[in-house]
Chains A and B, each alone.
Chain A
């Protein structure tokens, strides 16, 4: 059972927009920054968003992040078949004194 809750799976059509939620508590998301990762099949995770809203260089602006209270959201617009992947949220948890991952969301683009 992950400390951060994500929907296990989502699906959307090419060209559409999807938002992936990550729900936590005041000991983690509520008081810390969130990062997001994309894991394509058979590959290592890749950083998509850090500090809630920042995109590393090379990440297209189709990917965006936001945070409100104890929840964070990853948005993807103009969906492409190449966006089919697992997406994970990450933050620090003060109570656990540990890095915590969401359970991951399997995004299907069909």
Chain B
């Protein structure tokens, strides 16, 4: 079964760049799935950051689009998140997840399974 594991620095300075990697095991990143990043500020709800397909196609949350880059490394079976110009508001637990997208009669179906365990990133000097 597919498993995901996030990794990266737990502390980033303000105005710096947050960089995380999600390693995929038990399956190929080149399968017919989208690979997503979701974050959760402490004590708050979930926020979708964006996603990537193995071809390199991406979709981003419009509210973060100007600062986000998601990339894929098929040779390492992993994908990555870069978020630049970070502030304290970007402090959150960051999750990676496998996304399933289908379209039925013009209606979009999207769901996420499985998820990584999450990693806390704190933005502070």
- Interface set of A (CB-CB < 8 Å, partner B): 2, 31-33, 35, 37, 39, 43-47, 50-51, 56, 86, 88, 90-92, 94, 96-104
Interface residues of B in 66-125 (CB under 8 A from A): 95, 100, 104, 106-118
> Residue B25 at the A interface, CB < 8 A?
no
> Residue B62 at the A interface, CB < 8 A?
yes
Beyond contacts A33-B110, A35-B110, A51-B111: 20 other A-B pairs, Cβ-Cβ < 8 A, are: A31-B107, A32-B108, A33-B104, A33-B107, A37-B46, A37-B112, A39-B46, A45-B46, A45-B95, A45-B112, A47-B113, A50-B109, A86-B45, A88-B45, A88-B46, A90-B112, A101-B46, A101-B47, A101-B48, A102-B45
CB–CB B110/A91 < 8 A: yes
Which residues of the other chain, A, contact B110 by a CB distance below 8 angstroms?
Answer: 32-33, 35, 90-92, 99
CB–CB B46/A104 < 8 A: yes
Name B93's closest neighbour in chain A (CB-CB): A44
Which residues of the other chain, B, contact A39 by a CB distance below 8 angstroms?
Answer: 46
**Chain B binding surface, main DSSP class:** strand
Separation of A101 and B110 alpha carbons in the complex (Å) = 11
Are A103 and B108 also in contact (CB < 8 A) when A44-B95, A44-B115, A97-B59 are? no
> Residue B28 at the A interface, CB < 8 A?
no
CB–CB A98/B59 < 8 A: yes
Name B96's closest neighbour in chain A (CB-CB): A44
CB–CB A50/B45 < 8 A: no
Q: List 22 A-B contacts (CB under 8 A).
A: A33-B108, A33-B110, A35-B112, A37-B112, A39-B46, A43-B117, A44-B95, A44-B115, A47-B111, A47-B112, A50-B100, A51-B111, A92-B110, A94-B108, A96-B62, A97-B59, A98-B59, A98-B62, A99-B36, A99-B61, A100-B48, A101-B47
Rounded to whole Å, the gap between the CB of A10 and the closest CB of chain B is: 15
Mark each residue of chain B from 43 to 63: 1 if its CB lies under 8 Å from any CB of chain A, else 0.
Answer: 001111001000000011110
- Return the 9 tightest CB-CB contacts between A and B, nearest first: A50-B111, A35-B111, A92-B108, A33-B109, A99-B48, A47-B113, A44-B115, A104-B45, A32-B108
Which residues of the other chain, B, contact A91 by a CB distance below 8 angstroms?
Answer: 108, 110
Rounded to whole Å, the gap between the CB of B121 and the closest CB of chain A is: 15
